[in-house]
């Protein structure tokens, strides 16, 4: 059975599908960057590992019912402006208490 060549409309549909896929991939890369930046801030703030920083963000997201990417954006904005919604700030503190170190590392002895 001979194949029928694709009609131009089929090619146009495929181009639109590919453009949608490219747009979704761009959004995913941008989202990943914001989450990585927020993890870095949580690591520095809470003195936790990057894996625990991820868990802290995920925990805040789950307890506030706000998408993880949006929580990450709020954390990054807070780093620039010093402002964060009270609900997020309180939950971030609680999550860091749950996941963070229980005490400061000891200072090195004076020599």
Please report the DSSP string for 4-63 in residue order: PPPPHHHHHHHHHHHHHHHHHHHHHHHHHHHHHHHHHHHHHHHT--HHHHHHHHHHHHHH
pLDDT at residue number 22:
79
Among 4-8, 21-25, 31-35, 55-59, which stretch is predicted with the lowest mean pLDDT? 4-8
- The mean pLDDT of 41-58, rounded to a whole number, is 92
- pLDDT higher than threshold 80 for residue 71: yes
Q: How confident is the prediction for the chain on average, in pLDDT?
A: 84
Per residue in 78-93, pLDDT tens? 999 999 999 999 999 9
């Amino acid at each position: 059975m001979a194949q029928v060549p694709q009609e131009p409309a089929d090619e146009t549909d495929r181009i639109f599908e590919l453009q949608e896929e490219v747009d979704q991939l761009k959004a995913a890369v941008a989202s990943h960057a914001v989450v990585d930046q927020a993890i870095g801030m949580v690591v520095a703030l809470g003195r936790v590992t990057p894996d625990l920083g991820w868990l802290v963000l995920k925990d805040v997201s789950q307890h506030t019912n706000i998408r993880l990417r949006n929580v990450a954006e709020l954390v990054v904005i807070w780093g620039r402006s010093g402002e964060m919604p009270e609900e997020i700030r309180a939950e971030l503190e609680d999550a860091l208490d749950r996941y963070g170190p229980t005490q400061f590392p000891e200072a090195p002895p004076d020599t």
